[in-house]
A and B are shown apart, each in its own frame.
Chain A
């Protein structure tokens, strides 16, 4: 049973790393991408091939996968980031699905649609913990640096950002490359945990799941994304008994959140321990005076 919980923990960690990338791209730069599963696939396959064929240590495989995905994202971003709104989204969707088809057709290198097996199982709980801590640290510091503020300026209004001298094309490409690298990181860990990967694991459904997670967590909240990932990864597992209904409930939940609480779980705010304590105290105080609730969870 300990192994089961460890597996869940590892899965949550891997998903958090991938979703952090989407959060930077979608939550902070307001670019919607359906191609992140494609980058995850690039990372997973690059890392797996490096580990299996060249016996590289895991760190090198991760870095190799990230560089590969980052490079491809850079080229793709150069040609597609000029597209607006839905058109950009469709281009990334086309890219993600293309990657899957290309991997399926590169039989000799990737094993094709039947999958790539025999990847050394190097992902364990410690690797995941260290990876998540580093990933969160990088994402947090990035978003609180000049680059992160430029992202948010582009999110609020691209034209205004351009007008005050932010090279929005450049920073949009930064966000795109960074999110691809996070996805690839998660992909490499994923491959080294299951030791077997199939292209269909990285399909459109996976990409849309990541975007939905970020929306549920709150566009513009890093901690919101982390909380949403944890909930959405664990809930289906806890509700095993009702397995048939869990995807139905998931669909309904997405609609309810987007319609009734459009800012997501956290809105623009970040989770902070101090504020939570203050909020709990406030709840108790309010009960005494019995005034209607006004402030949401902070």
Chain B
């Protein structure tokens, strides 16, 4: 029973992890929490749904379209809203408020154009579960875990082993110096938004397959957001650890304590972690500079 719960927890946690890395990436560069991140995932889920159900695209193509679409929406939101605020030299909190506006806009845009009805993904994956030593693992859970793992490994490679990653890390550590050294910061911020949006798109499609698609699907990202805070804002490994931890804890609390108290445990843990370690597990210490 415990192992079964652990498997379920890891499956939920891996989807949270995909989203949480997106939060961490953007925070590490711009120092704000992209409130609209979950809604971009929601857009991805809808694009995936329509390409499968309405346009009958093959699965791999639908996935690519959904991920690219989510990435594109993310880039557009950066161009239209966040870039201007950065150029205005407004406080970083304004970025977050703009993100809240983008979130409301995206949710209601879908509500107006598509409607509030729940949509169910067509059956493209077998629903059967495989049994390993008495533990049942759903095919979908297995696939979402493997996809998340692959994407996260790819992300690691991208950040640690490529020129792109080096430039992003340089811009994250000091944007002005990075641009003095000849890094086109605006271009890299755009690319990071593309990357984060695509990650959100992948998790949106996975969530859509696991549950259903509806305009408020993005609210799932709140947990991923908490995970990224828990792991330390702006830290990608922290976000992954935090997401797995929260996923597993939620499943255990729901299974052994009470489903109604699940969120209370998550939020209490969050406040406790912040009080004991104000910068999360792996976060950098932020101090006011004189």
Give A residues with C-beta under 8 Å from B: 30, 32, 79-80, 82-87, 90-91, 94-95, 97-98, 101-102, 104-105, 157-159, 204, 208, 211-212, 215, 244-245, 247-248, 250-255, 258-260, 262
Is there an interface contact between A87 and B97, defined as CB atoms closer than 8 Å?
no
- The B267-290 residues at the A interface (CB cut-off 8 A) are 267-268, 270-271, 274-275, 278-280, 286, 288, 290
Which chain B residues lie closer than 8 Å to A211 at the CB level? Answer: 97
When the two chains form their complex, are residues A80 and B274 in contact, meaning their CB atoms are under 8 A apart?
yes
**Which residues from chain B contact A157 at a C-beta distance below 8 Å?**
288
What string of 1s and 0s marks CB contacts (under 8 Å) between B257-272 and chain A? 0101101101110110
- Please tell me if the beta carbons of A32 and B226 are within 8 angstroms of each other in the complex: no
Q: What is the minimal beta-carbon distance from B282 to any residue of chain A, in angstroms?
A: 14
* Contact B229 A90, beta carbon cutoff 8 Å: yes
Asked if A259 meets B98 with Cβ closer than 8 Å, knowing A98-B264, A251-B103, A251-B104, the reply is: yes
Which of A247, A251, A255 has the most chain B CB atoms inside 10 A of its CB? A255
Given A90-B270, A159-B288, A159-B290, residue A245 in contact with residue B112 (CB < 8 A)? yes
Contact flag A102-B264 (CB < 8 Å), given A254-B100, A259-B84: yes
State A98–B261 Cα separation when bound (angstroms).
Answer: 9
Q: Which of A91, A244, A258 has the largest count of B CB atoms less than 10 A from its CB?
A: A258
Q: What's the least CB distance linking B71 to chain A, in Å?
A: 20
Interface residues on B, range: 35 or more
CA A244 to CA B84, docked complex, whole Å: 29
Determine the distance from Cα of A69 to Cα of B91 in the docked complex, in whole angstroms. Answer: 30
- A160 (CB) vs chain B CBs: closest residue: B290
0 or 1 for each of B83-125: is its CB under 8 Å from A? (1 = yes): 0110010111110111011111111110110000000000000
Which of A94, A105, A208, A252 contacts B105, CB < 8 Å?
A252
- Whole-angstrom distance from the CB of A259 to the nearest CB of chain B? 5
The docked-state distance in angstroms from the alpha carbon of A83 to that of B286 is 10
A288 to B278, CA, bound (A): 60
Cα(A123)–Cα(B182), bound, Å = 63
Give chain A residues whose Cβ lies under 8 Å from the Cβ of B280.
Answer: 87
CA distance A79 to B233 in the complex (A): 20
- B: residues with CB less than 8 A from A are 27, 32-33, 80-81, 84-85, 88, 90-94, 96-98, 100-109, 111-112, 222, 225-226, 229, 233, 258, 260-261, 263-264, 266-268, 270-271, 274-275, 278-280, 286, 288, 290
Check A248–B112 contact: CB distance below 8 A: yes
The one of A91, A104, A105, A262 in contact with B90, judged by C-beta atoms closer than 8 angstroms, is A262
**A158-B102 contact given A79-B275, A98-B268, CB 8 Å threshold:** no
Taking CB atoms, residues of chain A closer than 8 Å to B108 are 245, 247-248, 250-251
Contacts of B258 in A (CB 8 A): 105
- Known A87-B274, A91-B271, A211-B97; judge A251-B102 contact (CB<8 A): yes
Given contacts A254-B101, A258-B97, contact A84 B278 (CB under 8 A): yes
Within the complex, the shortest CB–CB distance from A127 to chain B, in Å, comes to: 32
Find chain B residues with CB under 8 A from A247 CB.
104, 107-108, 111
Per DSSP, chain A at the interface is helix
| Pairwise interchain contact B81-A90, C-beta atoms closer than 8 A | no
Do A212 and B97 touch across chains, with their CB atoms under 8 A apart? yes
Contact, CB under 8 Å: B97 / A254: yes
Across-interface contacts of A258 in B (CB, < 8 A) = 81, 85, 90, 94, 97-98, 101
Indicate if the CB atoms of A91 and B103 lie closer than 8 Å.
Answer: no
Q: Are A94 and B226 in contact (CB under 8 A)?
A: yes
A47 to B225, CA, bound (A): 33
- Within 8 Å CB of A84, what residues of B? 278, 286, 288
B135 to chain A, nearest CB (A): 30
A255 and B260 within 8 A (CB) = no
B263 and A97 within 8 A (CB): yes
Q: Which residue of A lies closest to B32 (CB)?
A: A86
CB-nearest residue of chain A to B110: A248
Contacts of A91 in B (CB 8 A): 270-271, 274-275
**Extra contacts besides A95-B267, A248-B105 (18): CB < 8 Å:** A82-B278, A83-B274, A87-B278, A90-B225, A90-B274, A94-B226, A94-B267, A94-B270, A98-B263, A204-B222, A212-B100, A247-B111, A248-B112, A251-B105, A251-B107, A252-B105, A254-B97, A260-B84
Check A254/B271 contact, CB under 8 A, given A211-B97, A259-B81. Answer: no
Inter-subunit contact B112/A254 (CB<8 Å) = no
- Within 8 Å by CB of A158, from B111, B260, B288, lies B288
Taking a contact as CB atoms under 8 Å apart, the answer to whether A215 and B97 are in contact is yes
- List, sorted by A's number, 25 A–B pairs whose CB atoms are closer than 8 Å: A30-B91, A32-B96, A85-B92, A85-B286, A86-B32, A87-B278, A90-B270, A101-B261, A101-B267, A105-B264, A215-B94, A247-B108, A248-B112, A251-B104, A251-B108, A254-B97, A254-B101, A255-B80, A255-B81, A255-B105, A258-B85, A258-B90, A258-B94, A258-B98, A259-B85
